[in-house]
Amino acid sequence: MDTSFAHVTELAKTKYHRKSDRYINYGTAGFRTKAADLTHIMFRMGLLAVLRSKYKKATIGVMITASHNPVEDNGIKLVDPMGEMLAANWEHYASELANVTDSEVKTVLNKIIQEATIDMSEKSNIFLARDNRPSSVTLASAFLEGVSCFKSHFHDFGEMTTPMLHYVVRCENTQKRYGKPTEDGYYEKLGEAFLKLRGSKPSCPGLYKPRLILDAANGVGAEKVCLLKHHLNDALDIEVLNDGSDGILNHECGADFVKTRQKLPTGLPLKVGDRYVSFDGDADRIVYFYIDKNSKFHLLDGDKIACLVAKYLKDLLNTCELDLKLGNVLTAYSNGSAKEYISKTLGVDVACTPTGVKHLHHKATEYDIGIYFEANGHGTVIFSGHAEDVILNTAGNTELPIEKRVAAQKLCTLVDLINQAVGDSISDMLLIETILHSLGWDVEKWSNIYQDRPYSLCQVKVKDKSIFKTTFDEQRLIEPKELQDAIDELVAKYTEGRSFVRASGTEDIVRVYTEAKSLDEVKQLSFAVCEKVYDIGHGVGDRPVRSA
Ligand code: 16G
Ligand code: ZN
């Protein structure tokens, strides 16, 4: 083992030398920054991924992507054996290893090996995938050179969406019970479940039409949806646009752009009556939208998706008369109307966690069936082992009335259609299309299940975002206390007003979310809160301006 360590140190000091001493943190979605600053981190993460694999005695996944961020950025995140995010204590190891000097790399590796009592003679295996950023190819080689220092097995899947990588990792570590750990295995599993759920029902029941226009953010999802189409037997008519052939990744398109700007992406021909869907760059977020006959833009974000899914699952559970606890996990960014629809109209439990997939996912495991969605369109459904058993038994119980068995069979097939490892644009899209088809709804009918309370999301640049400390659910500031007092005073002036401030985990800014009874009130309140953030929170650059 000593020889490989010598090689590690040599490479760390030469080819993968750390060029800047700026601190970089393993944040909510791994390391993310300018691609040019990531080479040494990739190499070091190659080393860490092997340690993690030996420690867990399982295949570990690694995704090279910066999701919805601009094309010149990149990032890396590690995926644990069941396709879940890396455990928190290893996030600390990752940050530590990324930030030490070149000559300290070996010391930190040894420290991790000792602290976690890792047997270095254990086998290890890494699954690697990347998005379609030009920088991803060289960053992947740097990563693999780290992996090779420890002579580990690995499989490089090349370009894949983030959720596909999570899927193959989970398949591999469940001895393929979850599915075949290949790209084709993924399409086959989803395609088969989707077609089974469509059954022999007409392709256009009620208001539903199978035509769908996809804004793929010029990301890796575009090619994958085209490949998936071969497995859908023309049941969906998907036109893939912003497919990367001439546009720039995430530039004025994609789920993040559409949600944060609340406007149409470029590159799409718009037609009243059509249903549109946007993925983000690595295809783990999804939002829908349409324009009505007055050319007004309507967004159906993660909240609307969560509500649709909750309604469908609740109806199926009612039909089966199954006593399974269904819950919906959202964040502070979820619209007040969505929370009200889920808890009051549907009678489904709502829980709120901090931002970041790992928090929502974790909370969702507390239910028999846990739905989780961030308003930005990242989410999925997870079924407990108990729920899967109960559903399977009900589906196969010939003594039960046929309608109960049919509903339970649908639930069984949904388990296969849903990527339980992580939010997945492709799987979520197929789920939403299944539900709309089953209800005979068009996008307008779905949109009208409730009306969003008017809201806005702004950002303020400050000197030091780390001074902003929030309560667990992120709805209030603990510090600066003076700022929270000022916000309380402002909010009290508005009926149905709500506003909270939180430091972004991915950008050097503070986010301000505001809701109120009318858009005009939202603008006033949001502006007033942004000004307080700027004044009390040491804003830098231009003062906030009131939006028109
Ligand atoms: C990351 C998170 C996403 C969260 C977003 C918040 C993962 C895989 N992704 O993209 O869940 O909504 O950060 O960004 O955890 P912010 O901290 O800048 O508001
Ligand atoms: Zn993403």
3-class DSSP assignment, residue 464: coil
Is 119 in the same domain as 142?
yes
Atom of ligand 1 nearest to the CA of 378: 11
**Per-residue pLDDT tens over the stretch 430-478:** 999 999 999 999 999 999 999 999 999 999 999 999 999 999 999 999 9
**pLDDT exceeds 90 at position 3:** no
pLDDT of the residue at 508:
83
**What is the whole-number distance in angstroms between the Cα of residue 280 and the centre of ligand 2?**
5
Protein residue whose Cα sits closest to atom 5 of ligand 1? 356
The answer on pLDDT for 29 being more than 90 is no
Is 178 inside any structural domain? no
Q: Provide the CATH number for the domain around residue 104.
A: 3.40.120.10
Residues 282-334 have pLDDT tens digits of 999 999 999 999 999 999 999 999 999 999 999 999 999 999 999 999 999 99
Q: Closest ligand 1 atom to the C-alpha of 284?
A: 8
Instruction: Among 151-155, 240-244, 356-360, name the one with the lowest average pLDDT.
Output: 356-360
Of the bound ligands, which one is closest to the alpha carbon of residue 376? 1
CA of 88 to the centre of ligand 1 (A): 15
> Do the domain assignments include residue 529?
yes
Whether residues 140 and 80 share a domain: the answer is yes
pLDDT tens, residue by residue, 218-273:
999 999 999 999 999 999 999 999 999 999 999 999 999 999 888 999 989 889 99
Same domain assignment for residues 282 and 411 = no
Examine residue 70 and say whether the peptide bond preceding it is cis (omega within 30 degrees of 0).
no
Domain check: are 34 and 146 in the same one? yes
Whether residues 85 and 46 fall in one domain: yes
Looking at the fold, whether 204 and 307 belong to one and the same domain comes out as no
pLDDT band for position 6 (50/70/90)? confident
The CATH number of residue 235's host domain is 3.40.120
Final residue of a domain: which of 144, 159, 174?
A: 159
| Closest to 420 in 3D by CA, of 376, 372, 375 | 372
Kindly state the average pLDDT of the residues 138-147: 98
pTM score > 0.85 for this model? yes
Q: What is the pLDDT of residues 492-530, one digit of tens each?
A: 999 899 999 999 988 889 999 999 999 999 999 999 999
* Last residue of one domain, picked from the residues 265, 298, 331: 298
Question: With contact defined as beta carbons under 8 Å apart, do 231 and 115 qualify?
Answer: no
Instruction: Give the tens place of pLDDT for each residue, 74-87.
Output: 999 999 999 999 99
Strand partners for 159? 130
State the total domains in the chain: 4
Measured from the Cβ of residue 109, the count of other Cβ atoms closer than 10 Å reads 26
Query: What does the alpha-carbon distance between residue 389 and residue 374 come to, in Å, rounded to a whole number?
Result: 28
- The set of residues, in sequence order, having a beta carbon less than 8 Å from that of 126 and lying 6+ positions away, is 46, 49, 50, 53, 59, 60, 61, 62, 147, 152, 153, 154, 155
| Contact (Cβ atoms closer than 8 angstroms) between residue 281 and residue 250 | yes
Q: What average pLDDT does range 98-127 have in this prediction?
A: 97
Kindly tell me if the per-residue pLDDT of 548 is higher than 80.
no
Bridge partners for 206 per DSSP: none
Q: Are residues 155 and 43 in the same domain?
A: yes
Please tell me whether residues 284 and 332 are part of one structural domain: no
Which structural domain, as residue segments, surrounds residue 54? 2-159
Q: Which mutation among 25, 26, 28 tests ligand 1's pocket best, with the greatest number of atoms within 8 A of CB?
A: 28
Q: Find the residues whose C-beta lies inside 6 A of ligand 1.
A: 28-29, 67, 355-357, 374, 376, 378, 504-507, 511
Q: Which amino acid, 388?
A: E
